[in-house]
Amino acid sequence: MFSRPNSRFHRALAAGALAATAALALSACSGGVAGGDSDSGDGPIKFGMLAPFSGSEAAFGDYMQYGAQLAIDEVNADGGVNGQQIELVTEDDGCDATAAVAAANKLVSAGVHGSVGGYCSGSTLPTLPIFAEAGVPMVIPAANSTELVGQGAFMINGTGTQQAAATVAYIQKVGAQNVVVIDDTTDYSVDLADEIEAQADGFTIAKRESVNPDEKDFSANVNSALGANPDFIVWTGYYQAGGLLVNQLRAAGYTGTILVGDGSVDAQLAAIAGPEAIEGVVGTFTRTPDMLEGGEDWVEAYKGVSGGADPGPYSMQTYEAVKVLAQAMNDAGSTDYDAVVSALDALENFPLLSGDLTFADDGSREGGGFVIVAPTGADGSFVLEDDLTS
């Protein structure tokens, strides 16, 4: 009946680093960690969501929460999950690994039956064994480091490997030859940079640079990068440092293309970099509502939940994570962990706004769906630039 019952989570718990994290997290809880009941009884079914509601990435917490709430409202209006209503329970991980461990334990103590959060890969990784031990299935909307693959979670966003492939395809398409890759030392950023370097074909990675994202002056990194005479620069970090870096690269005389990873695909990148510096910048991202037929209807529904605020990056992916987990629980006929995992495994061409979804054996999303976007929309928002199909 179950194609891979528990096998992913057993591998996650067997992994040394994750198991150590789990042991530390469990020992830190005074009464031990008790997971969500397999039978939720007459109460609501609780979907937990870890997201950054504080720190430099705080905007994404709101984007994700409103997207999740919209999906929950729709599912509840359609009868809920097995006749029960869903309730969203959020905790702030601040994109910090230590904070994420504490926040994950809070969700487990609150009795969540599933997890639909995860933005920063570095803060999502240490939560895997906590949710696994508690029997809480995870559908991750945003975090996409390859280190998450095969560790028991199911991923809505394409992986770092798939994003790197889109980056490489675009570099090849524009004919760049001398490429510099710059990361911000975070797990997500380094992983993406490593994948781009590993997949490079037809061009040279002339230089790898790593910046400290807590600093403001990247002149040493800029000078080192430009010393390699690049005709294309890739930034794999987040937008806060990315906006400053883009500005300083332009101020130092670099006029070529700068491609940013999905952690920097936000209007704030343009606000920080400035209108002149942002010209010639593109990014890799999965499709957003404005790129979809009928997407304006979804945006209006989102605004009804958000109090009129526009959706942002990962609003739609978090919406989809809720829809996927709810469907799996309905298919399973319960919130039982093994049954839900089996149902997630069994989803095939499940229709979503971003395209039909099937999970690969390792929990990643087949295909990935990355395209090239550019900050040429209103107020520096990113819009479709190249779908990489030609």
CA pair distance 348, 331, nearest whole angstrom: 12
What does pTM read for this prediction? 0.76
CA pair distance 8, 150, nearest whole angstrom: 6
pLDDT in tens, 69-81: 999 999 999 999 9
In sequence order, what are the residues at sequence separation of 6 or more whose Cβ sits closer than 8 angstroms to the Cβ of residue 117?
48, 49, 50, 51, 64, 90, 93, 124, 140, 141, 318
Do residues 199 and 165 touch, judged by C-beta distance below 8 A? yes
CA angle 307, 124, 45 (to 5 degrees): 60
CA pair distance 109, 65, nearest whole angstrom: 20
CA pair distance 178, 171, nearest whole angstrom: 10
Question: In degrees rounded to 5, what are phi and psi of residue 360?
Answer: -75, 170
pLDDT in tens, 88-105: 999 999 999 999 999 999
Alpha-helix residue ranges (DSSP H) falling in 56-155: 59-77, 97-109, 121-124, 128-134
- Kindly state the tokens that stand for 351: 């229709």
Digitized pLDDT (tens) for each residue of the chain, 390 residues in all: 222 333 333 333 333 334 334 433 333 332 333 344 445 567 899 999 999 999 989 999 999 999 999 999 999 999 999 999 999 999 999 999 999 999 999 999 999 999 999 999 999 999 999 999 999 999 999 998 889 999 999 999 999 999 999 999 999 999 999 999 999 999 899 999 999 999 999 999 999 999 999 999 999 999 999 999 999 999 999 999 999 999 999 999 999 999 999 999 999 999 999 999 999 999 999 888 877 877 899 999 999 999 999 998 899 999 999 999 999 999 999 999 999 999 999 999 999 998 899 999 999 999 888 999 999 998 999 999 999 987
Q: All domains of the chain, ordered by start, with CATH?
A: 7-158+293-368 (3.40.50.2300), 160-286+372-386 (3.40.50.2300)
